[in-house]
Amino acid sequence: MEKSISYFQTLSHEQLTTEIPVLFQLLNEEKVAKSQELAEFLLKYPNEITPYIFELFESDTPNMKLIEWTLDTIIPQLPFFVKIALEDSLQRIAQSPTDEEKSLGLDEKALNVLNDFI
Protein backbone atom coordinates (compact mmCIF):
# COMPACT_ATOMS: atom_id res chain seq x y z
CA MET A 1 0.00 0.00 0.00
CA GLU A 2 1.37 3.39 -0.98
CA LYS A 3 1.20 5.76 1.95
CA SER A 4 -0.37 9.16 1.48
CA ILE A 5 -1.14 12.02 3.82
CA SER A 6 -4.63 10.59 4.31
CA TYR A 7 -3.10 7.31 5.54
CA PHE A 8 -1.02 9.15 8.15
CA GLN A 9 -4.03 11.21 9.26
CA THR A 10 -5.91 8.03 10.22
CA LEU A 11 -3.24 6.88 12.67
CA SER A 12 -3.38 7.22 16.42
CA HIS A 13 -0.70 9.34 18.06
CA GLU A 14 1.15 6.20 19.15
CA GLN A 15 1.03 4.70 15.65
CA LEU A 16 2.10 7.97 14.11
CA THR A 17 5.17 8.11 16.33
CA THR A 18 6.41 4.89 14.77
CA GLU A 19 5.46 6.03 11.25
CA ILE A 20 7.07 9.49 11.31
CA PRO A 21 10.43 8.09 10.14
CA VAL A 22 8.60 6.50 7.20
CA LEU A 23 6.89 9.79 6.38
CA PHE A 24 10.18 11.69 6.42
CA GLN A 25 11.82 9.01 4.27
CA LEU A 26 8.96 9.30 1.74
CA LEU A 27 9.36 13.09 1.78
CA ASN A 28 13.10 12.76 1.27
CA GLU A 29 12.56 10.38 -1.64
CA GLU A 30 9.89 12.76 -3.02
CA LYS A 31 7.25 10.04 -2.88
CA VAL A 32 4.92 12.25 -0.85
CA ALA A 33 4.08 15.70 -2.13
CA LYS A 34 5.08 18.64 0.03
CA SER A 35 1.92 20.63 0.65
CA GLN A 36 0.34 23.03 3.09
CA GLU A 37 -1.94 20.18 4.22
CA LEU A 38 1.09 18.03 5.03
CA ALA A 39 2.78 20.93 6.83
CA GLU A 40 -0.28 21.55 8.97
CA PHE A 41 -0.41 17.86 9.82
CA LEU A 42 3.28 17.68 10.77
CA LEU A 43 3.01 20.83 12.87
CA LYS A 44 0.61 19.02 15.19
CA TYR A 45 3.60 16.90 16.30
CA PRO A 46 6.51 19.32 16.85
CA ASN A 47 8.35 17.16 19.37
CA GLU A 48 8.09 14.07 17.19
CA ILE A 49 9.32 15.74 13.99
CA THR A 50 12.24 17.68 15.48
CA PRO A 51 14.78 14.80 15.33
CA TYR A 52 14.00 14.31 11.64
CA ILE A 53 14.47 18.01 10.93
CA PHE A 54 17.89 17.76 12.62
CA GLU A 55 18.67 14.71 10.52
CA LEU A 56 17.61 16.52 7.36
CA PHE A 57 19.85 19.51 8.12
CA GLU A 58 22.85 17.37 9.06
CA SER A 59 22.61 14.77 6.30
CA ASP A 60 25.68 13.97 4.19
CA THR A 61 23.39 13.93 1.15
CA PRO A 62 20.77 16.55 1.93
CA ASN A 63 17.58 16.98 -0.08
CA MET A 64 17.81 20.70 -0.75
CA LYS A 65 14.20 20.96 -1.93
CA LEU A 66 13.03 19.41 1.33
CA ILE A 67 15.28 21.70 3.38
CA GLU A 68 13.91 24.70 1.52
CA TRP A 69 10.31 23.58 2.11
CA THR A 70 11.08 22.97 5.77
CA LEU A 71 12.63 26.44 6.16
CA ASP A 72 9.74 28.10 4.33
CA THR A 73 6.78 26.14 5.64
CA ILE A 74 7.51 24.13 8.76
CA ILE A 75 10.06 25.91 10.93
CA PRO A 76 8.42 29.37 10.99
CA GLN A 77 5.29 27.78 12.46
CA LEU A 78 6.98 25.58 15.05
CA PRO A 79 6.68 26.46 18.73
CA PHE A 80 9.42 28.66 20.17
CA PHE A 81 11.01 25.84 22.20
CA VAL A 82 11.52 23.77 19.04
CA LYS A 83 13.01 26.70 17.15
CA ILE A 84 15.46 27.19 20.01
CA ALA A 85 16.43 23.51 19.77
CA LEU A 86 17.08 24.00 16.03
CA GLU A 87 19.01 27.24 16.49
CA ASP A 88 22.52 25.75 16.05
CA SER A 89 21.55 24.05 12.79
CA LEU A 90 19.89 27.22 11.53
CA GLN A 91 22.95 29.28 12.54
CA ARG A 92 25.21 26.90 10.62
CA ILE A 93 23.11 27.25 7.46
CA ALA A 94 22.86 31.04 7.86
CA GLN A 95 26.52 31.69 8.70
CA SER A 96 28.44 28.87 7.02
CA PRO A 97 26.31 27.58 4.16
CA THR A 98 27.57 25.05 1.70
CA ASP A 99 27.91 26.29 -1.88
CA GLU A 100 24.65 24.57 -2.79
CA GLU A 101 22.80 26.05 0.21
CA LYS A 102 24.09 29.50 -0.71
CA SER A 103 23.16 29.15 -4.40
CA LEU A 104 19.60 28.25 -3.40
CA GLY A 105 19.36 31.11 -0.92
CA LEU A 106 18.92 28.77 2.03
CA ASP A 107 21.32 30.88 4.08
CA GLU A 108 18.96 33.86 3.71
CA LYS A 109 15.94 31.72 4.55
CA ALA A 110 17.65 30.38 7.67
CA LEU A 111 18.65 33.91 8.68
CA ASN A 112 15.04 35.08 8.26
CA VAL A 113 13.81 32.24 10.44
CA LEU A 114 16.40 33.08 13.08
CA ASN A 115 15.53 36.78 12.99
CA ASP A 116 11.88 35.95 13.60
CA PHE A 117 12.52 34.31 16.96
CA ILE A 118 15.79 35.64 18.42
The alpha carbon of residue 99 and the mean position of all alpha carbons in its chain are separated, in whole angstroms, by 20
Q: Let me know: does 96 contact 90? Beta carbons within 8 Å.
A: no
Predicted pLDDT at 1: 45
Each residue's pLDDT expressed in tens, for the chain with a length of 118 residues? 467 778 888 888 888 888 899 999 999 999 888 999 899 999 999 999 999 999 999 999 999 999 999 999 999 999 999 999 999 999 999 999 999 999 999 999 999 999 998 7
Residue 26 CA to its chain's centroid (Å):
13
* Domain spans of the chain, in order of start: 5-117
Domain 5-117 has CATH 1.25.40.750: yes
Buried b (16+ CB within 10 A) or exposed e, 44-73: eebeebbebbeebbeeeebeeebbbbbbeb
Predicted local distance difference test score (pLDDT) of residue 4 = 74
CA distance 37 to 41: 6
Question: What global pTM score does this model have?
Answer: 0.90
What pLDDT sits at residue 2?
60
What is the distance between the alpha carbons of residues 62 and 66, in angstroms, rounded to a whole number? 8
